[in-house]
């Protein structure tokens, strides 16, 4: 009996892939429009997102630990650490947001300083952020960049690793329950979905990349899509630097 996939299976897989790519485009458009409203710049918005993340982890602590156990089959202490460390990261960031948002005085030439002028640096969020999650740390290495992005006023999209079935399933279930799509969303998929995402003009990209590959680059080619634009020359947010 032939083990080759049937034509119907190929069509179903292709339709699913196209659907996920379309969803990624829609999520990006929503977050881009939301960011343009300046709602994410507020201190209250940033703290609210961190509170939502902490609540999601605390209220589903055992489920996340069990998912990590299924994906990695490691000692229970390591699975508990994945969740606990993510909660601690979010709580610490929340305690620092106000300080990170405070303008910083910048040095000026003496003749300007003597005339009473002051130079100030105002940290501004980059914009819509993509986080390409790795396969070897489902929460710590995925949610830590999300904490950095949200605390700096950036909505973000998590591209989950397709290798972590249990963790992916849980995140895809819970993120829509705790977050608005415009703030934090998640998609899953292989190379085709990543390629589609990298074609979109994200303002900042977190990626666990190969040595020598810059932030925001395609690890397979070493190229940074949409690099050299005006947004790359903007003052960096402390959290997304």
Q: Distance between alpha carbon 3 and the CA centroid of its chain, in Å?
A: 39
Query: At 18, is the pLDDT very low, low, confident or very high (cuts 50, 70, 90)?
Result: low
Distance CA 116, CA 90 (A): 40
Residue 4 — pLDDT band, cuts 50, 70, 90? low
163 pLDDT above the threshold of 70: yes
Q: Confirm if 205 and 130 have CB atoms less than 8 A apart.
A: yes
- Sorting pLDDT into bands at 50, 70 and 90, what band is 155? very high
Rounded to whole angstroms, the Cα distance separating 223 from 229 reads: 14
Given a cut of 70, whether residue 2 has pLDDT beyond it is no
The domain spans of the chain are 40-233
- Taking the C-alpha atoms of residue 234 and residue 241, their distance in angstroms, rounded to an integer, is 11
Cα(236)–Cα(42) distance, rounded to whole angstroms? Answer: 17
Question: Residue 103, CB half-sphere, CA atoms under 13 Å: how many?
Answer: 7
173: Cβ contacts below 8 Å, ≥ 6 apart: none
3-state helix, strand, coil in the chain (%, to 5): 55, 10, 35
Query: Is domain 40-233 given the CATH code 3.40.50.170 in the classification?
Result: no
- Give the mean pLDDT of 161-172: 91
Residues 6+ apart with CB under 8 A from 61: 83
d(CA 181, CA 156): 9
Report whether 123 contacts 148 (CB < 8 A).
no
- Compute the Cα dihedral for 190, 19, 181, 65 and give only its sign: negative
Q: Which residues contact 180 (CB under 8 A, 6 or more apart)?
A: none
Check pLDDT > 70 for residue 151. yes
Give the highest mean pLDDT range of 7-11, 77-81, 215-219.
77-81
Residue 203, pLDDT > 50, answer: yes
């Amino acid at each position: 009996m032939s083990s080759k996939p049937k034509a119907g299976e190929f069509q179903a897989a292709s339709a699913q892939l196209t659907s996920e790519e379309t969803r990624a485009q829609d999520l990006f458009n929503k977050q881009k429009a939301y960011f343009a409203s300046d709602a994410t710049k507020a201190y209250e918005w940033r703290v609210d997102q961190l509170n939502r993340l902490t609540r999601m982890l605390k209220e589903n602590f055992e489920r996340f630990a069990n998912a990590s156990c299924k994906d990695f089959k490691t000692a229970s202490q390591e699975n508990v650490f994945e969740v606990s460390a993510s909660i601690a990261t979010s709580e610490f960031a929340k305690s620092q947001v106000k300080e990170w948002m405070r303008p910083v005085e910048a040095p000026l030439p003496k003749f300007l300083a003597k005339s009473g002028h002051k130079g100030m640096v105002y940290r501004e969020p980059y914009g819509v952020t993509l986080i390409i999650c790795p396969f070897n740390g489902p929460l710590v290495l995925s949610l830590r960049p999300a904490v950095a992005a949200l605390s700096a006023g950036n909505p973000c999209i998590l591209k989950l690793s397709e290798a972590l079935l249990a963790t992916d399933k849980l995140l895809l279930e819970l993120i829509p329950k705790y977050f608005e799509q415009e703030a934090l969303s998640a998609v899953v998929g292989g190379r085709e979905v990543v390629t589609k995402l990298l074609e979109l003009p994200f303002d900042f990209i977190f990626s666990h990349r190969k040595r020598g590959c810059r932030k925001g680059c395609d690890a397979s080619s070493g190229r940074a899509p949409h690099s050299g634009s005006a947004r790359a020359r903007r003052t960096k947010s402390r959290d997304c630097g």
